[in-house]
A and B are shown apart, each in its own frame.
Chain A
């Protein structure tokens, strides 16, 4: 397979008044050409920070990559200069942000904002860029693109704005598209439209997608592979089917069990007790140990290594050690049982 992006042992920290927050603690994953990978986790799990590190969009003075590499087509982005990054951002790797209300410039027409990247990266002249903008708007399903290209963001609804943001991100045919909670701010019926559009565009353009979200429904809809993050680490990774049908990590079980399933009648939600760890003083062992119903002594002091479950499925949990007791996932975490 063609590896497009390869993260190895990435560590990202923030300097705050209270001390150093270790937001990402040793994240490794690969992204292949044309695939879609979802990074799932709760707020503070480090999923957004990981993606911002790839784009090198961490706040300058306080956030820094401490360790590790981000290889994109052989080049280490962790060590790239700002000038080199400017060439990559928006043309090779682009990003869609969560909030379509704030990620567009309210003082520029939609057309100008799409053209910005085209003019910079592809040396198009004005009329070429405008024509391409109109085509892009058509591609993302905006009616009357010839007219709307000259309108301002406030004249668009939330869903329409997110379509524009997607058009901007796709303008230069990027190889990787990072979508950070692309539908969280949208209503469900609009979310369905946008997810449909993203799947459609991926088929057409072959762009690899990194989808960052907390919504397992969205993951099931869009992702081929999934990485589950907790406490700044990837605790489990596998194909979508492996994560949903054969999850191995108790945190993944917890996530699946705490979601109400619209297609089942179970009356009890299995909540995960407690709260996520404080990354100012991250736990020495497994980050989930304090909330894990199956925690053993070893979990408190030693971080488990990622164990291979299959060639595509890995989980970092001591339960997978051969000396550990056999534990079954809770019934509420079983997906598809209602069918």
Chain B
């Protein structure tokens, strides 16, 4: 790719989100993540359950208040906004699609009212007719039709509900959409429909996505760049092709080798890196590098020092002592 100065849409700096856990415990769900999202790109965020990927998404959009750190949207600090009107303006630009299409739509509202909620709040339609027209248009955009407008969510299948969720997000004409596991509750053949729809919409409307998922093959498919999270930290971030061809972090390598591929011959011949044990508790995470307890290459330095977030190659960021010459020297 040509080196063009791309415009940053979102900057996340050292974002932290802790939850209280019991008397003295603190659950460090997200512990200092930093990344940028450029205009028009899709950034994928992958990791296993409990790694903090959803919390990261929810904190960015202010469903949670950050414990520490900053989020800049087009240069403006998101988390310091106080007044209602400022927040409203910001909410129009950033929308979210949720994982569970069964839980994220109000069962007592018609599809029309669900989709139009944002239109009403932001006063985007002056007359009822205009409001209806907008809803019909959105329904058609996501591959449903206008007869669906007066129905209730229970009358739709999972894939159709997720389309309604997408229409709701698009209703206020956002620039940036956070999609939190938008397809993991759907069947394989329906997943492809929804992903194709999201990619089409991106092309047509120049949307920017943060795509959060645990399914690495789908993330690779939709994303330009991918960040890998483990226990509240981002351990590696690079373009999706490079991540899959040359993963640097031992966790990424293990994660990639663990995915079963739909190809029996390949499955029979493949060497797997099988990680021992389970993910440690985020209430009392390991010192130094959080992955060291399961890492096949762990050194002494990994327990003592937290690895630096560094650019190992151009555009390829990793937090691992194996790629830090100083740390390796120190260890020897």
Contact = CB atoms under 8 A, between A and B. Distances in A.
B188 A259 contact: yes
A262 B264 contact: no
Task: Tell which of A189, A195, A196, A220 has the most Cβ of chain B within 10 Å.
Answer: A189
A192 B258 contact: yes
Given A261-B261, A269-B196, 16 more contacts: A157-B278, A188-B258, A189-B255, A192-B275, A217-B262, A240-B264, A241-B264, A259-B188, A262-B256, A268-B196, A269-B195, A271-B192, A271-B193, A272-B193, A275-B160, A336-B265
A155 to B, nearest CB: 12
Interface in B241-286: 241, 244, 254-267, 272, 274-275, 278-279
A262 B191 CA distance: 16
B327 interface: no
Contacts of A196: 272, 274
Nearest to A45: B187
Contacts of A241: 264-265
Contacts of B159: 275
B216 interface: yes
Contact of B263 (A157, A258, A265, A336): A336
A136 B254 CA distance: 28
Contacts of A189: 48, 254-255, 258, 274-275
A3 to B, nearest CB: 24
A189 B263 CA distance: 19
Interface string A210-246: 0000111111110000000000000000001100110
Given A191-B258, A241-B264, A42 B187 contact: yes
Contact of B192 (A188, A258, A263): A258
Nearest to A187: B48
Nearest to B281: A157
27 contacts: A43-B187, A158-B278, A187-B49, A188-B216, A189-B255, A189-B275, A191-B258, A192-B260, A192-B274, A192-B275, A196-B274, A216-B188, A217-B261, A255-B189, A259-B188, A260-B218, A260-B220, A262-B244, A263-B261, A271-B195, A273-B193, A275-B157, A276-B187, A336-B263, A336-B265, A336-B266, A339-B266
A244 B217 CA distance: 18
A49 B272 CA distance: 33
B221 interface: yes
A195 B260 contact: yes
B101 to A, nearest CB: 13
Interface string A157-173: 11110000000000000
Contacts of B312: none
Interface of B: 48-49, 157, 159-160, 187-193, 195-196, 214, 216-218, 220-221, 241, 244, 254-267, 272, 274-275, 278-279
B220 A262 contact: yes
A280 interface: no
A309 interface: no
A259 B262 contact: yes
A149 to B, nearest CB: 19
The interface residues of chain B, by DSSP majority, are classed as helix
Nearest to A216: B262
B189 A261 contact: no
Contacts of A256: 262
A160 B267 CA distance: 24
B188 A188 contact: no
A262 B217 contact: yes
Given A187-B49, A256-B262, A271 B189 contact: yes
Contacts of A190: 48, 278
B262 A244 contact: yes
A270 interface: yes
Leading 10 A-B pairs by shortest Cβ distance: A217-B260, A271-B192, A258-B192, A187-B48, A216-B262, A260-B221, A192-B258, A272-B189, A42-B187, A269-B192
Contact of B260 (A159, A220, A255, A339): A220
A90 interface: no
Contacts of A240: 264
A290 B192 CA distance: 18
Interface string A279-321: 0000000000000000000000000000000000000000000
